[in-house]
């Protein structure tokens, strides 16, 4: 029976993945992501239902727009597949089962999915724009805040003080970013990364966050080494861009956090 659940979760994950591709493109340019129909960014033709079926539409259309024949970036397909896989892995990691559904596990699953949505959006936008979008962070904090209230009222969680401390710290950093750094015309990316780490701390706790930072540092080192190797083998003008390339730290943090969270869940729920 659980295989039926995993298939359903995979389909839901791919639907979210399709939404992520839309949101990652529209949020930075402040376009509506809920009411405006999807369209081809090249010819602006509105897409039909058959153009937006996750994975299948990309395959049947040969990776091209039905209307202008512009090639669709393969990242859209990869993100839909990856989202489906991550959703299934998260579901399996907490032993969610159709046969024996526990109330606490179901609640954790719902808020976990909302957390993953926030992390996916932050990662996608940061990968493309080297920017942490505050509206997405705010959405994440609201979801985690509701989860904290649930834990305190119904689960009698005694860790409420740590939640309050982290929330206050994140608010102070956010105010510092908005009113001081913006006024001075300075880049707030470092501050936004700190706020992102606090957001991860609230939902995934300290141990997961520490491992997330360690894995992120390893990923960044590998990224820098590969860039250096590429530059040393390709003495062209274009490689100057690689030397001045900004590092999508938020992207690496998010990918590392998702990985560590799922692995940790497997250890906790299956021990």
> What is the pLDDT averaged over residues 176-201?
81
**Under a CB-based contact definition with an 8 Å cutoff, are residues 86 and 116 in contact?**
yes
% of the chain at pLDDT higher than 70: 90
3-class DSSP state of 39: strand
What was the pLDDT predicted at 157? 67
pLDDT band at 48 (very low <50, low <70, confident <90, very high): confident
Q: Which of 70-84, 99-113, 196-210, 230-244 has the lowest mean pLDDT?
A: 230-244
- What is the pLDDT of the chain when averaged over all its residues? 85
Length of the chain (residues) = 271
pLDDT tier, 183 (very low <50, low <70, confident <90, very high otherwise): low
Closest CA relative to residue 167, chosen from 193, 194, 139, 202: 202
Q: What is the pLDDT of residue 164?
A: 83
CA distance 111 to 178: 28
CB distance 182 to 147 below 8 Å: no
CB 136 within 8 A of CB 42: no
Report the distance separating Cα 212 and Cα 194, nearest Å: 13
Question: What is residue 166's predicted lDDT score, i.e. its pLDDT?
Answer: 85
Per-residue confidence band for 236, with pLDDT thresholds at 50, 70 and 90: low
Tell me the mean pLDDT in the region 199-204: 92
- The more confidently predicted of residues 88 and 246 is 88
What pLDDT score does 180 carry? 67
Confidence check: pLDDT of 230 > 80: no
Given a contact cutoff of 8 angstroms between Cβ atoms, the answer to whether 193 and 133 are in contact is: no
Residue 178 dihedral angles phi and psi, to the nearest 5°: -75, -45
Calculate mean pLDDT across residues 130-154. 89
Q: DSSP letter string over 178-247?
A: IIIIHHHT---HHHHHHHHHHHHHHHHHHHHHHHHHHHHHHHHHHHHHHHHHHHHH--STTHHHHHTPPP
Confidence class of residue 237 from pLDDT cuts 50, 70 and 90? very low
3-state secondary structure of 97: coil
Give the start-to-end residue ranges of the domains of the chain: 1-93
- Count the alpha carbons within 13 Å of 261 in the hemisphere toward its beta carbon: 25
Q: How far apart are CA 165 and CA 135, in angstroms?
A: 21
Three-class secondary structure of residue 188 per DSSP = coil
Contact present, 198 and 170 (Cβ < 8 Å): yes
pLDDT > 70? residue 1 = no
Grade residue 264 by pLDDT with cuts at 50, 70 and 90: very high
For the segment 122-140, the average pLDDT, to the nearest whole number, is 92
């Amino acid at each position: 029976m659980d295989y039926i659940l995993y298939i359903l979760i995979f389909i839901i994950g791919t639907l979210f993945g399709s939404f992520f591709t839309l949101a990652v493109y529209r949020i930075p340019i402040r376009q509506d992501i809920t009411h405006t129909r999807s369209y081809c960014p090249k010819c602006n033709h509105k897409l039909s239902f058959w153009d937006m079926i996750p994975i299948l539409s990309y395959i049947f259309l040969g990776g091209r727009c039905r209307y202008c024949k512009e090639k669709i970036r393969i990242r859209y397909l990869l993100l839909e597949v990856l989202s489906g896989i991550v959703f299934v892995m998260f579901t399996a990691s907490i032993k969610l089962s159709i046969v024996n559904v526990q109330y606490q596990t179901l609640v954790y699953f719902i808020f976990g999915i909302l957390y993953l949505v926030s992390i996916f959006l932050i990662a996608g936008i940061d990968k493309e724009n080297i920017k942490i979008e505050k509206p997405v962070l705010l959405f994440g904090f609201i979801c985690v805040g509701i989860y904290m209230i649930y834990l305190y009222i119904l689960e009698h969680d005694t860790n409420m003080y740590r939640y309050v401390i982290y929330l206050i710290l994140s608010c102070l950093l956010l105010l510092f970013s908005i009113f001081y750094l913006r006024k001075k015309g300075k880049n707030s990316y470092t501050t936004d990364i700190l706020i992102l780490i606090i957001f991860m701390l609230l939902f995934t706790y300290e141990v997961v966050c520490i491992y997330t930072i360690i894995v992120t540092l390893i990923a960044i080192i590998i990224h820098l080494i590969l860039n250096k190797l590429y530059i040393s083998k390709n003495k062209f003008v274009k490689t100057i861009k690689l030397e001045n390339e900004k590092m999508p730290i938020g992207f690496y943090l998010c990918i590392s956090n998702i990985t560590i969270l799922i692995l940790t869940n497997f250890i906790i729920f299956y021990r």
